[in-house]
Amino acid sequence: MTEQGHILFLPGDGIGPEVMEEVKRVAGWFGARGLVFALDEDLVGGAAYDRHGVPLAPATLEKATTIGTVMFGAVGGPAYDDLPFEKRPERGLLALRKELGLFANLRPALVFPALAAASALKPELVEGLDIMIVRELTGGVYFGEPKEVTSLPDGQERAVDTQVYTTSEIERIARVGFELAQKRSNRVASAEKSNVMKSGILWKKTVQRIHDTEFAGVELAHVLADNCAMQLVRQPKQFDVIVTDNLFGDILSDVAAMLTGSLGMLPSASLGAPDQHGRRKAMYEPVHGSAPDIAGRGIANPLACISSFSMLLRYSFERGAEADMLDRAITRVLDEGYRTADIMQSGATRVSTSEMGSRILDALDRLA
């Protein structure tokens, strides 16, 4: 059977390997039906530190770069909290993002009908909510120079971070947002602070130009980032795709996440620039961390990681039909009342990590 693609699994630490196990079963389910992937696996984070003394071994990075599509679990844990900065598990994740050039972070905020009551907002405000936040991930104030702390003559310290964006950085993230909108509800909101920031003015102007020259058919709204935060909790369903910079995206995506309920449900994708064949390097991962408080107990919710795999099918292999099917399987299992502990509701059936995986496979069987 010919392989349709190649995936590197990096399960990581804590519940990372536990939820990844269920993703492998889902991949196996598709494999048995002809959608076969070549699968590789390696260590990252604390697991890599234990073996190699570094959170990302050079050979692993090399594999990730060659294979180009990474399914990432989670890293970190109390055993590694006292390591020096460069050896900390998160450095492995940051190095992967940087080396693969993953500049576009996609964070869906999707409210499953069965979980609308778990939202921080009233159910009627979030029922049917389906937002995609597109956050620029490699530029902006987290990376801009100068970035320093200096001492002043009067004994104070002075700290500087610099928000920097170039036209091309804004253009490429804007295109990602518009392309996604075309496959969704055809609406983009671009969030910046053009009222007080020079980089915000450039952001707004550039997004508008990309819209006018390449995506005139998509509805574009410019919104100030603070107003965007307010609107997200006031009337979230007005949004489809939100495109924004690294800092605002960090905050707005966490706000949107809380509209949907548990961390155990939230997937993400990070995409690089297309190569000459139109293929992007990409990494898919749940938003949650390694959850040391519940690791090893078989109770973690695997759905965030499984939905991240659905994004992988959709964005790395253009398998939208299969991704839709997997998304429907998740909806169905929730509708049927199966819940891991983190999303447990009265009257529902509590299941373990692997039982949730089995419920998903069963739903896929019925949808096939």
- Our finding on whether 145 is near ligand NAI (CB under 6 A) is no
The binder of 301, among Mg ion, ligand NAI, none, by C-beta within 5 to 8 A per type, is: ligand NAI
Nearer to ligand NAI, 140 or 289 (CB): 289
Assess contact for 19 and 301: CB atoms under 8 A.
yes
136 class by beta-carbon count within 10 Å (0-12 exposed, 13-18 middle, 19+ buried): buried
59 class by beta-carbon count within 10 Å (0-12 exposed, 13-18 middle, 19+ buried): exposed
Rounded to a whole number of angstroms, the minimum distance from the CB of residue 14 to ligand NAI is 7
- Our finding on whether 90 is near Mg ion (CB under 5 A) is no
The binder of 254, among Mg ion, ligand NAI, none, by C-beta within 5 to 8 A per type, is: Mg ion
Q: Give the C-alpha separation, 289 to 186, whole Å.
A: 32
Nearer to ligand NAI, 15 or 26 (CB): 15
Active-site annotation holder among 183, 198, 212, 226: 226
- Our finding on whether 42 is near Mg ion (CB under 5 A) is no
- Our finding on whether 240 is near Mg ion (CB under 5 A) is no
Q: Alpha carbon of 348 to those of 18, 110, 115, 271, 338: distances in Å?
A: 23, 20, 11, 36, 6
Q: Which of 28, 101, 144, 292 is close enough to bind ligand NAI by CB under 6 A?
A: 292
Q: Is 327 annotated for ligand binding?
A: no
Active-site annotation holder among 40, 130, 161, 254: 254
Active-site annotation holder among 24, 63, 193, 204: 193
84 class by beta-carbon count within 10 Å (0-12 exposed, 13-18 middle, 19+ buried): exposed
- Our finding on whether 254 is near Mg ion (CB under 5 A) is yes
Q: Which of 85, 213, 293, 366 is close enough to bind ligand NAI by CB under 6 A?
A: 293
For helices 353-367 and 320-335, angle between their N-to-C axes, nearest 10 degrees? 120
226 in active site:
yes
Assess contact for 189 and 243: CB atoms under 8 A.
yes
Report how far Cα 29 is from the mean position of its chain's Cα atoms. 23
For helices 353-367 and 303-317, angle between their N-to-C axes, nearest 10 degrees? 40
- Our finding on whether 264 is near ligand NAI (CB under 6 A) is yes
Q: Is 105 annotated for ligand binding?
A: no
Nearer to ligand NAI, 288 or 332 (CB): 288
Cα dihedral across residues 18, 293, 120, 140: positive or negative: negative
250 in active site:
yes
Site for ligand NAI in 59-118 (CB under 6 A): 74-77, 90, 93
H helix runs in 259-344, sequence order = 303-317, 320-335
Phi, psi of 156 (to 5 degrees): -75, 165
Nearer to ligand NAI, 90 or 322 (CB): 90
362 in active site:
no
The binder of 250, among ligand NAI, Mg ion, none, by C-beta within 5 to 8 A per type, is: Mg ion
Q: Which residues pair with 106 in a beta bridge?
A: 134, 269
Q: Is 34 annotated for ligand binding?
A: no
284 in active site:
no
Cβ-based neighbours of 59, under 8 Å, separated by 6 or more:
42
50 in active site:
no
Nearer to ligand NAI, 139 or 264 (CB): 264
Q: Give the C-alpha separation, 96 to 43, whole Å.
A: 13
Binding site residues, as ranges?
A: 77-90, 97, 107, 135, 226, 250, 254, 289-301
Question: Any idea which residues carry the catalytic annotation?
Answer: 142, 193, 226, 250, 254
Binding site residues for NAD(+), as ranges?
A: 77-90, 289-301
Where along the sequence are the contacts to ligand NAI (CB under 6 A)? 15, 19, 74-77, 90, 93, 263-264, 285, 288-294, 300-301, 304, 342
Where along the sequence are the contacts to Mg ion (CB under 5 A)? 250, 254
